């Protein structure tokens, strides 16, 4: 998944006038629910499409389409990236982490394990962000935050055990490991993006980093693109590729961007909690994946852990200012 970043603080929320802090459900909220449905179903679409198109060929085609459309959206909405060349090196690094390396891990992991496992493990991204901020940004948090992180990791363990096949040569176990590695990489992308998001729009940063990350990804995918029997891909396979590129990346991201602009990053980010729920239910219905007690327990433990981690008070060591870290989430 290629997903944007959002952040908010308790201080900012408390400083809003009372009339602005009142939550009213509107068209923007409805659009954000549609966005979570798009992302949730994308796990099933990708899982199905990978039975016809190899992961690397799928990645290359998906991001060539999505990257081109994202650039056009930036030109349409903003007239240009608005990011000076002096920062392009940092943006390129984000592209390498969030696209070139993350995507092969995510898609190969999804091809090997269950769609529901992938969605639920990726849901732990905010916990990893809190942990990475501890080491990269020097943030310190209370026991509540550590308990939340520990619970998130426990939930991941329960979900991995729910597959029932933990032998070293298990493809499902390898897929879960790939997804876990992808989750850590996306969390790193989110943390590294934070300073740049203070200066540039999330739309510009996502589009340009995707562009930088797509170039080496396509180069790495050339053998797979040449080996892929494209004439044998069914209309359903082509539809899956186009859905994942156009709707899951471009359309959903534009909705996300509008949500951040109109109702704020914190409230927008909360909607993404619906994504793994939708993905898990859809995988049960469309892919006949078993919804075991262990998997349900793992999901509950992860969400409890995320609540504790995302609402724990954080101290930034540079100025000892207490903040509330909302973080972000995983990408498809």
- DSSP 8-state code for residue 162: T
Q: Locate 331 and state its tokens.
A: 């990408």
Three-state secondary-structure class, residue 332: coil
Please check whether residue 330 lies inside any domain of the structure: no
Which of 54-63, 135-144, 198-207, 293-302 has the weakest average pLDDT? Answer: 135-144
Cα(225)–Cα(170) distance, rounded to whole angstroms?
A: 27
Please check whether residue 329 lies inside any domain of the structure: no
Proportion of the chain above pLDDT 90, given as a percent: 41
In contact, 206 and 85? CB cutoff 8 Å: no
Cα(302)–Cα(154) distance, rounded to whole angstroms?
A: 7
Q: What is the pLDDT of residue 218?
A: 96
Comparing 217 with 158, which gets the higher pLDDT? 217
Which of 85-94, 148-157, 172-181 has the weakest average pLDDT? Answer: 148-157
Tell me: pLDDT of 264 over 50: yes
Please check whether residue 40 lies inside any domain of the structure: yes
Contacts of 277 (CB under 8 A, 6+ apart): 40, 299
Cα(122)–Cα(133) distance, rounded to whole angstroms?
A: 18
Tell me: pLDDT of 275 over 90: no
Please check whether residue 23 lies inside any domain of the structure: no
pTM for the whole thing? 0.79
Which of 77-86, 114-123, 135-144, 297-306 has the weakest average pLDDT? Answer: 135-144
Q: Locate 121 and state its tokens.
A: 């493990």
Domain of residue 173, residue span: 10-17+28-324
Number of domains in the chain: 1
Cα(88)–Cα(208) distance, rounded to whole angstroms?
A: 9
Q: Locate 280 and state its tokens.
A: 């898990």
Please check whether residue 1 lies inside any domain of the structure: no
In contact, 267 and 23? CB cutoff 8 Å: yes
Give tens-digit pLDDT for 285-306: 999 988 888 888 888 888 888 7
Q: What is the pLDDT of residue 145?
A: 78
Three-state secondary-structure class, residue 229: coil
Q: What is the pLDDT of residue 265?
A: 61
Comparing 19 with 239, which gets the higher pLDDT? 239
Q: What is the pLDDT of residue 23?
A: 54
Q: What is the pLDDT of residue 315?
A: 62
Comparing 4 with 83, which gets the higher pLDDT? 83
Tell me: pLDDT of 13 over 60: no
Half-sphere exposure of 236 (CA within 13 A, CB side): 9
Residue 288 φ/ψ region, left for φ over 0, alpha for ψ in the -120 to 50 degree band, beta for the rest: left
In contact, 250 and 207? CB cutoff 8 Å: no
Burial 184-219 (b: 16+ CB within 10 A, else e): bbbbbbbbbbbebbeebbbbbbbbbbbbbbbbebbe
pLDDT band for position 219 (50/70/90)?
very high
Please check whether residue 298 lies inside any domain of the structure: yes
Q: Locate 40 and state its tokens.
A: 């949730």
Q: What is the mean pLDDT of residues 160-172?
A: 67
């Amino acid at each position: 998944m290629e997903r944007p970043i959002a952040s908010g603080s308790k201080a900012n929320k408390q400083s809003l006038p009372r009339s602005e802090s009142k939550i009213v459900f509107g068209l923007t909220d409805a659009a954000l629910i549609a966005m979570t449905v798009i992302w949730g179903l994308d796990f099933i679409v990708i899982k199905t499409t990978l039975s016809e198109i190899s992961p690397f060929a799928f990645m290359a085609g998906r991001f060539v389409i999505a990257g081109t459309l994202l650039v056009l959206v930036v030109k349409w909405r903003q007239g240009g990236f608005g990011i000076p060349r002096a920062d392009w090196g940092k943006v390129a690094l984000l592209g390498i982490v969030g696209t070139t390396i993350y995507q092969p891990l995510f898609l190969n992991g999804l091809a090997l394990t269950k769609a529901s496992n992938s969605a639920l493990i990726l849901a732990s991204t905010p916990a990893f962000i809190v942990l990475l901020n501890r080491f990269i940004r020097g943030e310190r948090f209370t026991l509540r935050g550590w308990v939340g992180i520990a619970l998130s990791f426990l939930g991941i363990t329960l979900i991995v055990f729910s597959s029932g096949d933990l032998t070293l040569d298990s493809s499902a176990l390898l897929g879960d490991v790939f997804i876990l590695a992808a989750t850590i990489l996306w969390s790193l992308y989110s943390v590294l993006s934070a300073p740049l998001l203070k200066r540039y729009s999330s739309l510009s940063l996502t589009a340009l980093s995707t562009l930088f990350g797509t170039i080496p990804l396509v180069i790495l995918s050339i053998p797979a693109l040449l080996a892929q029997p494209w004439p044998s891909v069914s209309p359903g396979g082509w539809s899956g590729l186009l859905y994942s590129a156009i709707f899951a990346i471009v359309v959903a991201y534009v909705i996300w961007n509008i949500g951040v602009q109109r109702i704020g990053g914190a409230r927008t980010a909360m909607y993404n909690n619906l994504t793994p729920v939708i993905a898990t239910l859809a995988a049960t219905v469309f892919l006949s994946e078993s919804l075991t007690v262990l998997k349900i327990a793992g999901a509950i433990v992860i969400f409890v852990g995320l609540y504790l981690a995302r609402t724990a008070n954080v101290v930034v060591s540079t100025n000892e200012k207490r903040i509330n870290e909302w973080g972000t989430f995983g990408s498809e």
